[in-house]
Amino acid sequence: EVVQGVLLGLVVDDRLEITNCFPFPQHTEDDADFDEVQYQMEMMRSLRHVNIDHLHVGWYQSTYYGSFVTRALLDSQFSYQHAIEESVVLIYDPIKTAQGSLSLKAYRLTPKLMEVCKEKDFSPEALKKANIAYENMFEEVPIVIKNSYLINVMLWELEKKSAVADRHELLSLASSNHLGKSLQLLMDRVDEMSQDIVKYNTYLRNVSKQQQQKHQYQQRRQQENIQRQSRGEAPLPEEDINKLFKPPQPPPRMESLLIAGQINTYCQNIKEFNAQNLGKLFMAQALQDYNN
Q: How many CB atoms lie within 10 A of CB 80?
A: 22
> What is the spatial order of strands in the sheet that 104-109 belongs to?
15-23, 4-12, 55-62, 88-92, 104-109, 138-141
Q: How many CB atoms lie within 10 A of CB 99?
A: 18
Task: Report the relative pairing of strands 55-62 and 88-92 from DSSP bridges.
Answer: parallel
Residue 204 has pLDDT above 70, yes or no: yes
Orientation of helix 254-291 relative to helix 176-230, angle to 10°: 160
pLDDT of residue 81: 92
pLDDT of residue 31: 63
Tell me how far apart the 2 most distant CA atoms of the chain are, in Å: 109
98 compared with 208, residue with greater pLDDT? 208
278 compared with 194, residue with greater pLDDT? 194
Q: 91 in the Ramachandran plot: left (φ > 0), alpha (ψ -120 to 50) or beta?
A: beta
Per domain, the residue ranges of the chain are 198-244
Residue 155 has pLDDT above 60, yes or no: yes
pLDDT of residue 59: 93
Q: Where are the beta strands (DSSP E) in 93-134?
A: 104-109
Which amino acid, one-letter code, is at 141?
Answer: V
- The tens digit of pLDDT for each residue in 52-85 reads 777 889 999 999 888 888 888 999 999 999 988 8
Mean pLDDT of the 10-17 span:
87
Distances in Å between the Cα of 7 and the Cα atoms of 44, 91, 166, 223, 260 are: 11, 12, 32, 70, 28
pLDDT of residue 89: 94
- The tens digit of pLDDT for each residue in 86-107 reads 899 999 988 888 777 788 999 9
pLDDT of residue 255: 86
Q: Could you tell me the pLDDT band of residue 139, with boundaries at 50, 70 and 90?
A: very high
pTM of the model: 0.74
pLDDT of residue 161: 75
Q: How many CB atoms lie within 10 A of CB 136?
A: 14
Q: Where are the beta strands (DSSP E) in the chain?
A: 4-12, 15-23, 55-62, 88-92, 104-109, 138-141
- Nearest partner of 44 among 53, 36, 54, judged by Cα: 54
Residue 169 has pLDDT above 80, yes or no: no
- The tens digit of pLDDT for each residue in 224-275 reads 888 888 888 888 787 777 777 888 888 878 888 889 888 888 888 777 777 6
Rg of the chain over Cα atoms, rounded to whole angstroms, equals 28
Q: Calculate the average pLDDT of the chain.
A: 82
48 compared with 191, residue with greater pLDDT? 191
